[in-house]
Amino acid sequence: MGGVDVDDSGWEAVSLPGPLPARLRGGQALLCRKVLPAGAVVGARRWLVIEQPHCDAYVWVDGAFVGYAQRHAAAHSFEVAGTGAGGHLVGLELEGAPDDAAHSPTAGWTWGDLRMETTGAVRVVDWRVLVVDADAERATVRVSAALDSAGTHRTTLRTALVIRSDAGAAAGPAGAAAEPVPAAEPVPAASHDQQTVLARGRNELEWTLTVDRPALWWPRALGDQPLYDVAVSVEVDGRLSHRVERTVGLRSTGLRPLSPLSPASVGFSVAAVNDETLFLKGATLTAAAFADEPDLTTACRRDVALAVEAGLDLLAVRGAVAPAALYEEADRRGLLVCQDVAAGA
C-alpha cells in the first residue's frame, strides 16, 4: 500500500463498475487501482468517490488511511491530500462476513464507479430531491444538501429545474390533449438562488422549488414520462466550486382503499398516481440477478424492456438496491418501482 509504483502484474483483474468474481466474495480481499486526478486546479480539493459499494471496506490512498466505506446505496467521498500528478494508488481492504456469499450474492464490491473528482473550497457531499406534491397546477420540490467547506466562506447557492429536451409532451392521462414542448434554449421551470455563509466542515441546508403548470410524469399505462434535470451549483467568491445534477419526474403517488362500500375489500388498497387510480401489474426482481452481469446498463435496460413488453406497471426490487441504471430506465419507460430497504441502509 506504500506507493503508486507497486507491482500488480500478478494480480487478478477486476472490472469496475461491476461485481467481484464469485470466488472472492464473502471473505477478505484487497483491491488496488490507480486513479488519475480529474484536473489540476490551484487551491482545489480532491475527492475519491466510491459509488454503490456492496461490501464494507477500509479505504487507503497512496498508503494513507482515509476512511471506512460501508455497503450503502449512496456514494461515499473521501478528501485526498497531495497533488498526485501522476495518479493516486487506491487500496480497498474488503470485509465480508463468512456467510455473505451464501445469503447475499450482491456481496461483491461495487455496482457503481470509483473515480477522483476536483472541486473548489466547497463540495456538495450529499443531497436529496423530494417531490412533496404535484398536480396539474403546481408541483413542490424539496431539495436538501450537505456542503463540506474548507473554511468560512460566503457562498451563492443556485438551483435550476429544467425540463429535459427529450421529455416530449406535457401530457395528462392517456387520451388527454397534450401540448408540445418547443425546441428552444432551455429555460428553467423553477429556480432558486440564495447567499449564505458556510462554517468550516459540514453544513446542512434545505429549500423548496415551486413549479407552475408542471409536466407530470405518468405510469406508462396512463400517459407520458416527461423528466426534469435538477442542478445545484455552489459558487465561492463568484467562481464555481462544485455542481451536481440529477433527473426527477414530477408526480404524486399514494394508496387508496379499494372500495369503502364493500366489506370484502377491507384491508386492500389501489395505487393512485396524480389522483388517477391504477391496478398495478408487477413482478419481483431480485437485485442479486445483477451480481454476475458484465454490462450492468445493458442488463438493466433489458429487464425493464421485458417488463414493458409483458404489460407490467411495476417492478418490486428485493434484497438490495439495484444498479442506478435500473431506476433511470424505469423512469424513462414509465415503470413504478417498489424498493426493499434493508435495516440500517
pLDDT of residue 85: 66
- Rounded to whole angstroms, the Cα distance separating 29 from 19 reads 13
Torsions phi, psi for 301 (to 5 deg): -65, -35
Please, which pLDDT band fits residue 4 given cuts at 50, 70 and 90?
Answer: low
Lowest mean pLDDT among 1-15, 170-184, 292-306: 170-184
275 in a domain, yes or no?
A: no
- Rounded to whole angstroms, the Cα distance separating 183 from 212 reads 19
Look at the block and give the residue holding cell 488496488. 32
Residue 73 is part of a domain; what is its CATH number?
A: 2.60.120.260
40 in a domain, yes or no?
A: yes
- Please give the residue range of the domain that contains residue 155: 122-248
Q: Based on the domain organization, do 198 and 231 belong to the same domain?
A: yes
90 in a domain, yes or no?
A: yes
Q: Based on the domain organization, do 132 and 244 belong to the same domain?
A: yes
Backbone φ/ψ region at 238: left (φ over 0), alpha (ψ -120 to 50), beta: left
253 in a domain, yes or no?
A: no
Q: Based on the domain organization, do 106 and 133 belong to the same domain?
A: no
Q: Based on the domain organization, do 189 and 137 belong to the same domain?
A: yes
Q: Based on the domain organization, do 298 and 221 belong to the same domain?
A: no
- Rounded to whole angstroms, the Cα distance separating 218 from 274 reads 8
Kindly tell me the burial class for residue 242, based on how many C-beta atoms sit within 10 Å of its own C-beta (0-12, 13-18, 19 or more). Answer: buried
Q: What average pLDDT does range 143-169 have in this prediction?
A: 89
- Rounded to whole angstroms, the Cα distance separating 285 from 319 reads 9
Domain count, the chain: 3
265 in a domain, yes or no?
A: no
Q: Which of 119, 143, 168 is the last residue of a domain?
A: 119
268 in a domain, yes or no?
A: no
Residue 175 is part of a domain; what is its CATH number?
A: 2.60.40.10
Q: Which of 102, 119, 136 is the last residue of a domain?
A: 119
pLDDT of residue 323: 85
pLDDT of residue 51: 85
Q: What average pLDDT does range 77-102 have in this prediction?
A: 71
pLDDT of residue 120: 93
260 in a domain, yes or no?
A: no
Q: What average pLDDT does range 177-202 have in this prediction?
A: 80
Q: Based on the domain organization, do 111 and 72 belong to the same domain?
A: yes
Written as one string, the DSSP assignment of 76-119 is: EEEEE-S--TT-EEEEEEEE--TTHHHH-TT-SSBSS-EEEEEE
274 in a domain, yes or no?
A: no
pLDDT of residue 168: 45
Q: Based on the domain organization, do 93 and 46 belong to the same domain?
A: yes
- Give the rounded percent of residues in the chain with a pLDDT score beyond 70: 76
Tally: H helices and E strands in the chain: 3, 22
Q: What is the enclosing helix (H) or strand (E) of 220?
A: none
pLDDT of residue 248: 96
